Structure 1
Amino acid sequence: MSDVYLASNILLFPDEILHEILLRSPGKSVVRCSAVCKSWNSLVNSFIRHPHTRFPSNHHDDDDDVQLLFLQVYEPYKIHVKRRVHYVLHRDDSARDEHTKLTSPFVAYNNTRTCPAKKKVLDGDVDVVGTCNGLVCMVPHDDDDGGIDFAAIIWNPYIRKLVVLPKPGLAVAKNIKGIRYAFGYDSCTNDYKVLRCVNYKSLRNDDKTLKFSNYVSFRKPPTFHVEIWSLATGSWKSLIAADDDDIIPANFYPELFTRSRVVCVNGALHWLQTRRHLNGVSELSEYLVAWFDMAKEIFGETMVPEALRKKLHFQSGREWFISRYRETIALVKIRNYRFPRGDCVQIWVMEEYGVAASWAKLFTVQLQNVFVLAPLSLKNSGVLGFRKNGEVVLRDVGDGVRLLDPKSEQVSDFLIDGSCCCLNFVDSFVGSFVLYCQPNAISY
């Protein structure tokens, strides 16, 4: 049977049948179908005009509810040897150790860019910021010194396309203390955005682009700049303009933004923050969850339970983590104990998203001889996330990854190919066609 016959007769199926056929096909096969002929190309293009159309992760799966985890995996530490990093899509099923190793997007980036060889990117030189609707946002380690010629990469590993974000105008400066990124989705405009916070060591008096007249504090004014990149426009814009002093809240502290993980839930970015105020002659701090609405591009805050409100983040032996938990957010408190006793893990979940009164404590688990890594930086987060069955993914001080079942209080190793693994990043993942029609996307 000729391809011409197939191409002409497949269009005789009703649209809803064609939609179901494509929906149940592996994403890579759907992309290949677009190259068969003009009619198939038109069919596929009309199908993927809805960019959040999702497709099965593996055409051999008979489980319609299959879910995936996106992993950044690195090899165990060896002296004088640079760690090798790779990326994996892992089936989110404790009973089945199934995974697919992904081709790195930086192979394509290095081969298509005309930058000098010294600016070529290795997988070990990047951090994963987050995932959203089948896209992965990644940033280089040395963004603050200009060593790599891009700000970030947005990658769709299923259809093997990526978009390179240019460095904004404030990318390189000698007085930069740190740079932090966050990634999310604006459902109102069907757009993907990258939030970028630049923290400076000092503020020049003659810099008219940075205004902080609304800042109320008992310390020196903050020295930071916030900007946002849009996939739809392909450009950066500042969120601090001459007449927009109210955009950045008075209690926004970029150092804490840098320390806390940022999670995207319900169209908003969330991270741990503190509010500082005077109590007589002393300055007190209390915890809250800060957020940034991706559609309205405004900041806000949500209170945490009264039991968690006192600032514990920098107290010895206690650490807080924020994570996405299904369709809401969770707070995980780690109480550190000395050897041989293990850490104590406490989990709080906002049962109704956006309602501060709905915070509920799910579990308190005393670990046995398991010690969680303190969150010294983005890549060293002790709580990596949750699996769909409720297990907590923990990174311990020995560089291993543990799975905690809060119900049974059992701890097991996270295995890939039957072996323990080391992870920098874990998040849920689903395949999509986002970037398929993006004009500036690089295919590989």
Structure 2
Amino acid sequence: MESGPIVAYAGVDATAPSLHVGHLLPLVNLLHFYLHGHHVIALVGKSTASVGDPSGRVAERDSIASQRLEEWFGSLWAQIEKFFERGREYAILKGYNQANFGKMELKTNAEWLDRLGLVEFLATVGPHIRVSSMLARDSVKGRMNSGAGINFAEFTYQLLQSYDFWHLYRTANCRLQIGGSDQFGNITAGIDLISRYQPGSPSEASSTPAEAYGLTAPLLTTESGEKIGKSAGNAIWLDGDRTTPFELYQFFATLPDMHIQKYLQMFTLLPLSEISAVMGSHATNPESRAAPSLLAKEVVTLIHGVGKASEAEFITKLLFPVGEEASFSAANIISVIGEMIAKLARRVGAVKSRSVAQSVIKSGGMYVGLKNQKISDPGATVEERWLVDGEVLLLRVGKGKFTVVQAI
């Protein structure tokens, strides 16, 4: 890197309809390379998605129907394009010089894997792969030692990802693969293949190591150490229609203090001096929640843009006031989130049914108004004092779901 720009890539398989926060670290790493003048390739795994990567998994991945795979592939492709678009805007906002940015391109491994026949693959790549090395990978050993075992397609997945790295190395001079720490085995398998398989040389191998490298990032986990992701059933989606900007904001704003400084360093483009300053302020006055609020706003700005971040911040202050009571008017509320009112009422609603509503109220989980008045009577009717300027009712269920109702 000191000698000049390099080509780096990170890949994600189209095994879900959206990216989630677990994908952020590899993508943010790739974004840093791009912002500092390097050529980055974001690879959407279309062919490999139908095979299934066993890394970080305890059970087999469901087979993906062709039509669903096409839909998910298109969705992830568009999301990654949007991520880099937002990333450029966010970087410029933080003072980065656009003239220093590098090159970014999207690719899919279907370009080369779909044209590669099985016999050709085995004849050319197979001789350079050692089964003992494949068996030694943690992702394989973990599955083989589990009750679920591992199927042949998953076992050979590492060969396909290795081939991806080899192909990009040969055709695009890509020397760096970035991935989560669970991808370490797959990445090193690619480096090994690059070293061993060099078509055109007498032995198809070189005595000097290939200049190919891997960079891994730690996985995001829950407090119990469980991986955050789709397969674990706890994904926080980057698609605003699946996890709203407000919900994404709340995820980061309510993280335990132990994560805040690390996440500010990993997920934002804030200078380290500014992060240190805000963490010092947070240590002095943790009740203000200044540091986690900053983290939430920065991440939502990166993913959804400045407007959605400001909107999510406004809603948070509206529903969860901290310190001195803020002043809100009905006109103020409608002007900021007026377009969301009908959408939120339909999408989130208050509760799914009357019986659920009664249960929520009896458990103390329903609040109304700017002062978060707790509703204790399932038979209660709306009171004038709960309305903002006599025309807007805020109704919150638990910590994350809310509805804004405008009187007509």
Please indicate the TM-score interval, normalised by the length of the shorter structure. Answer: under 0.3
Q: Which has the higher Rg, Structure 1 or Structure 2?
A: 2
TM norm structure 1: 0.24
TM norm structure 2: 0.25
Structure number with higher strand proportion: 1
